[in-house]
Chains A and B, each alone.
Chain A
Amino acid sequence: MTAQILYAFFTVLLGVGGCFGYFYGSNWLLDRTFPANANNDASAVRNLRIQANIRPWLFLGPALLLLSVYLIFPVIQTVYLSFHDRAGDKYVGLANYKWAFYDDQFRLSIFNNILWLAVVPALCTLMGLIIAVLTDRLWWGNLAKSLIFMPLAISFVGASVIWKFVYDYRGEGQQQIGILNAIVTYFGGDPQVWIALPFWNNFFLMAILVWIQTGFATVILAAALRGIPEDTLEAATIDGAGPFKIFFRIMVPQIYGTILVVWTTITVLVLKIFDIVLTMTNSQWDTSVLANLMFDWMFRGGGDFGRGAAIAIVIMVAVLPIMIWNIRQANAEQKGH
């Protein structure tokens, strides 16, 4: 125990000290190699220019290097694997992608992913917007927002464990402890095995992500709503617009950019959805999504690096354009303010 703490302490010391040493040392070396107080003015100016050109790369260098090793290299390796057989030795061309195209499980996963994409971002953004508007004028609005925001602090696995109790089903003759079944039986219905109902069970899993992400949407959109100039709303009131017209014609267009950023941020998250499905159903009862399918082929029973890698590439290609658009939009938003 003590040894571990000491190790941690020295690691931190070494890491921070190393960083400091690197930046200080490389900067010092640069200053020495191209001195600004050179003999004549012309070479001093030239040296300063060279310094300014080199310094950013010196400081960015370590970060770029780490990024390459841990991000760029794996991508290249995954692309490489996706064109090779299950052990990664023999080149098989597009065979893995062709397999995926005709595979029922892959098609089901794509279909489920599209379902998630259609439902979760829209529902989170819509509910976030409604909650943000409703809580804006209430004195206890901030408390409500904090409560709605809280699930964001819970890990997906943790949230899934909580929701497992919500959907819990006990066999006949036993007391139902899941709240959903409790409600159903209270109204005279029959208890259901919710997470094993094909097709509908997807939506029960989505509810978990909506529960987690609505808080995020609420907080971001509430801030955007606060940024709308009050007098444009007053002018609209005088212009004779009703509350719905003010909401849709005056408020929403003014925070349109923020709505899109929230929407696409959640979309990217949904494309990568994995933990909830793994924890809740482990891809059973037709709930598999791409990330889980990849995991199964790569590391579990499948044991096929080629197929797993091909699925990973499909996910990446799907996420990339949304990601790029999202970053651009967020930058444009920041410039606007």
Chain B
Amino acid sequence: MANIKLTNINKSYGSHHIIKDVSLDIKSGEFIVFVGPSGCGKSTLLRSISGLDQVSSGTMEIDNAVVNDVPPSKRGIAMVFQSYALYPHMSVFENIGFALENQGLPRAEIKKKVEAVGEMLQLTTYLTRLPKALSGGQRQRVAIGRAIVRGAKVFLFDEPLSNLDAALRVQMRMEIAKLKRDLPNTTMVYVTHDQVEAMTMADRIVVLQAGRVMQVGTPMELYENPNSVFVAGFIGSPKMNFITGKPADKLKAKTIGVRPEHFEFSKTATDISGTLDYTEVLGSDSFLYVSTPTGMLTVREPGRTQYKTGQKLHLKPIAEHVHRFGPDDNRL
């Protein structure tokens, strides 16, 4: 059990201010996902928690103890790297057991623990192999095994799935979710740029942009009540539509945001009329790309669509699902 508390954390490399005054309260046993575009500082923030990077100012607490000056190995954390960071010259067994060896555990105990973890991750038959003789998914599992075996209170994941192909990514996503279920007391912090991973795995999501926390909340909170244009645009796929001009003025907003599924079609002309440019039919849904005077809008229709390319469409946002944003791009 370990909570993590960040208070006014700043991090600069020379003149580059990467993390700007981040404060965050991560509860014990929570699965937190840091999400944001590349360069937003999410990995740096994770590395600051791990201790691999020193913070420039602010306090970092793990399990109610300030850890600013505590070395990574003493923070009770384990980390899974994007590249897996397996030791190429060591067998799977040695890779998983290295941390235990450093703790000075007797051989027999290391063997017992590594084999238990190997079994848990279906690696038993691979324990004598070198990492280069494993598939991507197996390597990922070894990296996770290395974290589990230490019994760390906090797991840090740095984009662990971005090197895997799409099918394997979905599978590993489920395995990590299952791992979280099996280790309910372990706090997990997970960094990704993929909002689908964030939405599907997180208890709470932290959206970062340019080193600042934009919003913290459960996936549905962020989806339903984004507090800024940035969060609204980042969470959800396809992206939320942003409309300015007359339809926004009418609602006393600078910008209004409407998700693709929150449009109705009208028989008569509306504020938002345009021609259907292009359709993507996925079977379960269809995406209609409508070119309007305020720009290209995406509309989601369940199942197949009856509309033809080139057809004139009149769109009407469903009033209760319209997000209003002011001139500062914040929610009104």
A contact residues vs B (CB 8 Å cutoff) = 229, 231-232, 234-241, 245, 249-250, 253-254, 256
Query: Is A254 a contact partner of B89 (Cβ separation < 8 A)?
Result: yes
Nearest residue (CB) in A for B78 is: A238
Counting residue pairs across A and B whose Cβ atoms lie within 8 Å, the total is 58
Q: Closest CB-CB distance, B146 to chain A, in whole Å?
A: 7
Segment at the interface with A among B2-10, B97-105, B108-116: B97-105
Query: Is B50 a contact partner of A238 (Cβ separation < 8 A)?
Result: yes
Known: A234-B81, A235-B146, A254-B88. A240 touches B52 (CB 8 A): no
Given A231, A254, A256, which contacts B81 in the complex, CB threshold below 8 Å?
A231
Q: Closest CB-CB distance, B133 to chain A, in whole Å?
A: 14
- Fill in one digit per residue for B43-58: 1 if any A CB lies within 8 Å of its CB, else 0: 0000000101000000
A237, B146: Cα distance in complex, Å: 13
Q: Closest CB-CB distance, A322 to chain B, in whole Å?
A: 24
Which residues of A are found within 8 Å of B18, using beta-carbon distances?
none
A237, B77: Cα distance in complex, Å: 11
Query: Is B103 a contact partner of A240 (Cβ separation < 8 A)?
Result: yes
Q: List residues of B (52-71) whose CB comes within 8 Å of A's CBs.
A: 52, 71
Query: Is A235 a contact partner of B89 (Cβ separation < 8 A)?
Result: no
Q: Closest CB-CB distance, A163 to chain B, in whole Å?
A: 39
Query: Is A238 a contact partner of B98 (Cβ separation < 8 A)?
Result: no
Given A231, A238, A250, which contacts B73 in the complex, CB threshold below 8 Å?
A238
Nearest residue (CB) in B for A245 is: B102
Q: Which 7 A-B pairs have the closest CB atoms?
A: A240-B73, A231-B85, A239-B99, A240-B102, A253-B89, A235-B85, A231-B81
Which residues of B are found within 8 Å of A237, using beta-carbon distances?
52, 71-73
A236, B83: Cα distance in complex, Å: 14
Given A229, A241, A254, A256, which contacts B102 in the complex, CB threshold below 8 Å?
A241
A231, B81: Cα distance in complex, Å: 7
The binding surface of chain B is classed by DSSP as loop
Query: Is A239 a contact partner of B77 (Cβ separation < 8 A)?
Result: no
Which residues of A are found within 8 Å of B78, using beta-carbon distances?
238
B288 located at the interface, meaning its Cβ lies under 8 Å from any Cβ of chain A in the complex: no
Which residues of B are found within 8 Å of A235, using beta-carbon distances?
79, 81, 85-87, 146
Which residues of A are found within 8 Å of B77, using beta-carbon distances?
238
Q: Closest CB-CB distance, B86 to chain A, in whole Å?
A: 7
Query: Is A234 a contact partner of B73 (Cβ separation < 8 A)?
Result: no
Q: Closest CB-CB distance, A227 to chain B, in whole Å?
A: 11
A241, B98: Cα distance in complex, Å: 9
Nearest residue (CB) in A for B94 is: A249
Q: Closest CB-CB distance, B183 to chain A, in whole Å?
A: 18
Which residues of B are found within 8 Å of A240, using beta-carbon distances?
73, 99, 102-103
Query: Is B146 a contact partner of A239 (Cβ separation < 8 A)?
Result: yes
Given A232, A238, A254, A256, which contacts B79 in the complex, CB threshold below 8 Å?
A238
Q: Closest CB-CB distance, B157 to chain A, in whole Å?
A: 13
Which residues of B are found within 8 Å of A249, using beta-carbon distances?
98
A242, B279: Cα distance in complex, Å: 59
Query: Is A232 a contact partner of B86 (Cβ separation < 8 A)?
Result: yes
Q: List 15 A-B contacts (CB under 8 A).
A: A229-B85, A231-B85, A232-B87, A235-B146, A237-B73, A238-B72, A238-B73, A238-B77, A238-B78, A238-B79, A239-B146, A240-B103, A249-B98, A250-B87, A254-B87
A121, B82: Cα distance in complex, Å: 39
A240, B71: Cα distance in complex, Å: 9
